[in-house]
Each structure stands twice: as C-alpha cells, then as structure tokens.
C-alpha cells in the first residue's frame, strides 16, 4: 500500500497561528493532482509536536476528506508514551486512516527490547491496520537496529519502516534482514535512489511538498528499474533536497512553499523563520530550479 512516493505533509497555519484548514485542503488536492502515491499527515514535517490533540485529528480528517480513497493516508501517531500513542492510533484508525506511521519514542531512550515491546503493543491495539515504524536517530536519539526490525517484521500488521538513520550500511542490513514484502522506505530524499536500488520500496519525502510530480516520477522510475530517468530528476533537484535541511525541518520547506505562493510563512514556536542568509540561499535554489521567477525578490 505504501510504495513509491509519499509526502510528509507540512501543516499550514494562518497569520494568527491557527490551523489553516482551507490551505491544508489546497495542499492535499495539489498532491493528488500531481499523482502522489500516498500522503503522510502529522509527522514531524507537519509540526506534530506543536499540534494539540484536536488539531492533530482535524489535519488527518481533512486529508482523508480530500483524498477520498484516491490515495492511501498514512497518519502520524508516535511519541514516548506508549499508552497515549495507542489511544491516538485507535482514534485515527476509527476516522479511516489507512495506516499509522509511528516515530520511535524520544527522550526516554528505550532499549531495543523496549522498542520491540512498544511497537508490538501498538500493533496489537489496531490489529488490522498497517503500521510503519519511523526510525530517525538524529531527531529522537534512538536507533531501531536491523535485528529489531527483523523481529517487528514478524508481526503481521507491522509492514514497513521509514529509515532515516542516514546510514546506508544500516539500510542495506535492514533490507537484508527483513522479508521482501516488508516496505523499507527512505526518510531522506537525497538517498532515495541508492536505497531503492538495494531493494527499498519508496520514499516518505519532504521535497515532494514542493515538487510532488517530480519526486513521484523519481520513485516510480526506481520501481521499474529505470535509474537513468531517476538520476535526471536527482541531478536537477538535489540542491533543493539539500537546502531543505539548511535549518531544522520544516523551517526551510515551509519558507520555500511560502515563496512559491502555497502557504503563509508561519511556524509554531519553538520553530522560527530561517535566518536571512539561509532564506537568501533557499531563494537562489528556487530560482535555479525554476520554482520561482528568476527576477523574484
């Protein structure tokens, strides 16, 4: 269900700081019109740590309403309190989410056995719903080892992993350890091609917020083994993939989308607008890639 390119959706806010529901609908429609393979609302790119519970549910609800079954919706539900994650996952499943993306617990830094028991408990609570583990050590301080993913892959509704460790050797070992049916997805745009060449099934993408059609084309080219076509996309947009992380995600991508006229340039504290120097660098990449007019100020 979750193969190809899925967009880790940003969450738009209005100038008064409230959720921009109309803006969220526009972003979802844009993704679907561009041919995206699946949508991922309320991940860290969606600033989920600063969404109150009702907003989290509303963002997923809007995504489901606009998706209308045209594409699967993999809703974010993760955290460091297993009981709270279970409660949220049940609510999202009841709303109609097609799957749950669950980031590893952070700060309390569980052991590998703790991670296994955490995900096992979540899976048992929503038995018929696919779960994708999200491993991103750089943001959580916790790594899901290949041996742990092998154990988790034996649980019927744990179907994949968003692998954002940044460690290609680990990604290769994960693919070696898990069954072929287990969906190993890149969590970093710039390494989508090598991961898929190793046997990965796609990407949960940040840059597809800006270029959904192009990143979908890259992922689909990889799936059919046309790596020359995938490399063409990579060469053109690698500077954009890289500049999206010049500051903490999603600061740069939301700035870029605002410059493209897609949303208001609004973040929630503790995130703030990019430094002027970095904003200028983002502008230059947007001009180089043709996403804003070359003469834009």
Q: Give mean pLDDT, residues 155-166.
A: 96
What would the DSSP string read from start to end of the chain? Answer: ---EEEEE----B-TTSSB-HHHHHHHHHHHHHTT-SEEE-SSTTTTGGGS-HHHHHHHHHHHHHHHTTSS-BEEE---S-HHHHHHHHHHHHHHT-SEEEEEPP-SS---HHHHHHHHHHHHHHTTTS-EEEEE-HHHHS----HHHHHHHHTSTTEEEEEE-S--HHHHHHHHHHS-TTSEEEESSGGGHHHHHHHT--EEEESGGGT-HHHHHHHHHHHHTT-HHHHHHHHHHHHHHHHHTTSSSTTHHHHHHHHHTTSS-S---TT--PPPHHHHHHHHHHHHHTTSS-TT--
Domain of 123, CATH number, reads: 3.20.20.70
Rounded Cα gap, residues 207 and 286, in angstroms: 12
Q: Are 249 and 68 in contact (CB under 8 A)?
A: no
How is residue 280 written in tokens? 């200028």
Residue 174 lies in a domain: yes
Read off the pLDDT band of 134 (50, 70, 90): very high
Residue 8 lies in a domain: yes
- Exactly one of 116, 119, 134, 255 is catalytic; name it: 134
pLDDT at 184 exceeding the cut of 80: yes
Residue 162 annotated to the active site: yes
Residue 256 lies in a domain: no
Provide the CA 238 distance to its chain's centre, in angstroms. 17
Q: How many domains does the chain have?
A: 1
* pLDDT score, position 297: 73
Read off the pLDDT band of 1 (50, 70, 90): confident
**Do the bridges between strand 38-40 and strand 183-186 make them parallel or antiparallel, or are there none, so unpaired?**
unpaired
How is residue 6 written in tokens? 């899925």
* pLDDT score, position 116: 98
Q: Give mean pLDDT, residues 11-28.
A: 97
Task: Report the DSSP beta bridge partners of residue 101.
Answer: 76, 132
Residue-wise pLDDT tens digits, 52-64: 999 999 999 999 9
* pLDDT score, position 163: 97
Residue 293 lies in a domain: no
Percent of the chain with pLDDT over 90: 97
For the chain, what is the mean pLDDT? 97
Q: Are 161 and 185 in contact (CB under 8 A)?
A: yes
Rounded Cα gap, residues 1 and 254, in angstroms: 27
Provide the CA 244 distance to its chain's centre, in angstroms. 13
* pLDDT score, position 110: 96
pLDDT at 249 exceeding the cut of 80: yes
Residue-wise pLDDT tens digits, 89-124: 999 999 999 999 999 999 999 999 999 999 999 999
Residue 18 lies in a domain: yes
Percent of the chain with pLDDT over 70: 100
Most distant CA pair in the chain: distance in Å?
55
Residue 227 annotated to the active site: no
Residue 220 lies in a domain: yes
Lowest mean pLDDT among 140-144, 217-221, 235-239, 248-252: 140-144
Rounded Cα gap, residues 240 and 100, in angstroms: 28
* pLDDT score, position 143: 95
Which residues constitute the domain of residue 191? Answer: 4-226
- Exactly one of 116, 162, 201, 254 is catalytic; name it: 162
Rounded Cα gap, residues 170 and 144, in angstroms: 10
CB neighbourhood size of 188 (10 A): 22
Residue 267 lies in a domain: no
* pLDDT score, position 295: 72
Provide the CA 54 distance to its chain's centre, in angstroms. 21
Residue 269 lies in a domain: no
Q: Are 281 and 245 in contact (CB under 8 A)?
A: no
Rounded Cα gap, residues 264 and 128, in angstroms: 38
* pLDDT score, position 133: 98
Rounded Cα gap, residues 35 and 39, in angstroms: 11
């Amino acid at each position: 269900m979750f193969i190809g390119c899925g967009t880790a959706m940003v969450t738009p806010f209005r100038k008064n700081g409230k959720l921009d529901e109309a803006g969220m609908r526009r972003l979802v429609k844009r993704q679907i019109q561009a041919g995206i393979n699946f949508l991922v609302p309320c991940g860290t790119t969606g600033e989920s740590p600063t969404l109150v519970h009702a907003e989290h549910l509303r963002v997923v609800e809007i995504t489901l309403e606009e998706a209308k079954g045209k594409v699967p919706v993999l809703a974010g539900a993760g955290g460091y309190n297993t009981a709270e994650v279970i409660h949220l996952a049940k609510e999202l499943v009841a709303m109609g989410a097609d799957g749950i993306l669950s980031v590893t617990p952070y700060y309390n830094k569980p052991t590998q056995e703790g991670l296994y028991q955490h995900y096992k408990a979540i899976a048992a609570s929503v038995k018929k719903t696919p779960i994708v583990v999200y491993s991103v050590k750089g943001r959580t301080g916790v790594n899901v080892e290949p041996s742990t993913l092998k154990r988790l892959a034996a649980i019927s509704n744990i179907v994949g992993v968003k692998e954002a460790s940044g460690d290609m050797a680990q990604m290769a070992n994960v693919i070696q350890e898990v069954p072929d049916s287990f969906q190993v997805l890149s969590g970093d745009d710039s390494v989508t091609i090598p991961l898929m060449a190793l046997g990965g099934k796609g990407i949960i993408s940040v840059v597809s917020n800006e270029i959904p059609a192009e990143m979908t084309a890259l992922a689909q080219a990889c799936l059919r083994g046309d790596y020359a076509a995938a490399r063409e996309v990579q060469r053109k947009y690698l500077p954009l993939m890289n500049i999206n992380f010049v500051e903490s995600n999603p600061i740069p991508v939301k700035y870029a989308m605002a410059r493209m006229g897609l949303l208001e340039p609004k973040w929630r504290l503790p995130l703030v607008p990019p430094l002027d120097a970095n904003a200028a660098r983002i502008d230059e990449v947007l001009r180089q890639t043709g996403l804003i007019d070359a003469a834009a100020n």
